[in-house]
Structure 1
Amino acid sequence: MTHVEIEPNILYFGTPVVLVSTTGDTVNLAPISSAFWLGWRAIIGVGARSQTARNLRRTGECVLNLPSVHEVDAVDRLARTTGTAEVPESKLRRGYRYEPDKFGVSGLTPAPSATVAPPRVAECPVAMEAVVEAIHPVAADDEQQCGNILCFELRVQKVHVHDEIRMPGTTDRIDPDRWRPLIMSFQEFYGLGGKLRRSELAQIPENFYRSPDIDRARLESVRGA
């Protein structure tokens, strides 16, 4: 097979969807797909001006709720909503609107957490209560992007799961044959099979997410030629 060079506007090759619940003036519930785990640490990437980032910086705690394929409709109802009353220009151009009642608009149910103030999402098969341990700026080396994105390093304090996805005969293992995570790949919703449904986020043109790093890579490639 032969590789060809391309410049995709986004590099979202497929990651689990996470509903991040935080508390501020209201309870916020934000869908993200920039997340990964190492042990009981999670790294999530969010817009620095988002309500999620503001709440995390103020309170230092959240719940990482993992929806399954069965919650895809509820997740999509949260697309293009923001808990920030003054919607940033970048989000206005993408069709976002202010929505203070995220649980209400999604149809999801808040459930009390054990160690943090933000609620869990009752319908999500996995809910991880977590606290902020560190905040890392992304693209701090680039004047155009500096201050726009933050990575939060989170320490998980408690894990809740629906009993249906627990491996039979164990107390601490997830059964991968029963767990069906909701995956976002290039703005579209997938499970561990084919596409699930039309995604609201996929209606935003990919070039709206084009990073200055693409042009920077092109220039550096020309210099190195």
Structure 2
Amino acid sequence: MHRTVRPRVLYFGTPVVLVSTANGDGSANLAPVSSVWWVGQSCMVGLDETSRTTENLARTGECVLNLPSSGLVTAVDRLALLTGSPVVPEHKQRKGYRYEPDKFGAAGLTPLASETVGPPRVAECPVHLEAVVDRMHPFAEEDSGVIAVDARIVRAHVEEDLLVPDRPGHIDADRWDPLLMKFCEFYGDSRNLHPSRLARGWDMPLRRT
């Protein structure tokens, strides 16, 4: 039997992406995002309109979409309640966010130079997608505070072990174990992987054990 409900969020399961962008002073920002979907060689990313990532994308039009494997869950979780904005918006303060200028250092991740865009890649991620912004526009209901970013992939880097032998450009789905977010919790290999700071910040119900 089905029951009519109104879920607080509709995060049924999407891959986590670490979006790297360039700050105004030339340093790098790094933000975990799970509101993203793909079609062809483009994607749409949903972002808080007040975030440093949104600000950087509007200014530079460039980013790298780094896809972590499930093995990077602890590093990603370290970023969950950090913001690159020196002035933390009130709605983020309520969730426990704090300002952190060195996101790479805080996560224990390594910046790696990109080839076609300014922001660095994340060396530990098995997939790096260098991208340029085609369009930015409000998303969802009026005053949602969410911006949709349409980005086009201009160069892809994939860990060699994930590629199908003798089939350049083909990724072996059996070898690719992406880090997923389902209802603010981290999943990979069909199981919950790690307690989530984000779930606590969003006051999500505790998982049943």
TM-score range, shorter chain: over 0.9
After TM superposition, the score normalised by the length of structure 1 is 0.87
Q: Which amino acid aligns with 1:23?
A: A
CA contact (8 A) 1:10 1:206 kept: no
The corresponding residue for 2:154 is 157
Q: Which amino acid aligns with 2:86?
A: A
Secondary structure at the aligned position of 1:13 is classed as coil
* Cα displacement string for residues 47-68 of structure 1 (whole angstroms, at most 9, x for unaligned residues): 1110000000000000000000
- Structure 1: segments with no counterpart, 5+ residues: 208-225
The corresponding residue for 2:7 is 8
Higher strand share: 2
The corresponding residue for 2:207 is none
The corresponding residue for 2:105 is 104
The corresponding residue for 1:215 is none
Secondary structure at the aligned position of 1:196 is classed as strand
Matched, 1:200 2:203: no
Hey, what's the Cα distance between the residues in 2 that align with 1:94 and 1:204?
Answer: 4
The corresponding residue for 1:223 is none
1:3 deviation in Å? 1.2
The corresponding residue for 1:19 is 18
After TM superposition, the score normalised by the length of structure 2 is 0.94
Q: Which amino acid aligns with 2:4?
A: E
Larger Rg: 1
Hey, what's the Cα distance between the residues in 2 that align with 1:31 and 1:79?
Answer: 7
1:204 deviation in Å? 2.1
Hey, what's the Cα distance between the residues in 1 that align with 2:37 and 2:165?
Answer: 26
- Return the match for 2:169 from 161, 172, 176: 172
Hey, what's the Cα distance between the residues in 1 that align with 2:100 and 2:116?
Answer: 26
Secondary structure at the aligned position of 2:125 is classed as coil
Taking the TM superposition and a 5 Å limit, the aligned residue runs for 1:69-148 are 69-139=70-140, 142=142, 145-146=143-144, 148=145
1:170 deviation in Å? 1.4
1:205 deviation in Å? 3.6
Matched, 1:36 2:33: no
Hey, what's the Cα distance between the residues in 2 that align with 1:162 and 1:192?
Answer: 18
Identity of aligned residues (%): 53
Hey, what's the Cα distance between the residues in 1 that align with 2:164 and 2:137?
Answer: 35
Hey, what's the Cα distance between the residues in 1 that align with 2:147 and 2:32?
Answer: 16
Provide the aligned length of Structure 1 versus Structure 2.
Answer: 202
Secondary structure at the aligned position of 2:191 is classed as coil
More divergent stretch after superposition (102-111 vs 195-204): 195-204
Hey, what's the Cα distance between the residues in 1 that align with 2:202 and 2:99?
Answer: 20
Q: Which amino acid aligns with 2:177?
A: R
Hey, what's the Cα distance between the residues in 2 that align with 1:186 and 1:44?
Answer: 17
CA contact (8 A) 2:81 2:201 kept: no
CA contact (8 A) 2:10 2:183 kept: yes
- Return the match for 2:186 from 180, 186, 189: 189
Moved over 4 A (4+): none
Higher helix share: 1
Hey, what's the Cα distance between the residues in 2 that align with 1:206 and 1:115?
Answer: 40
- Structure 2: segments with no counterpart, 5+ residues: 205-209
CA contact (8 A) 1:29 1:103 kept: yes
Secondary structure at the aligned position of 1:195 is classed as strand
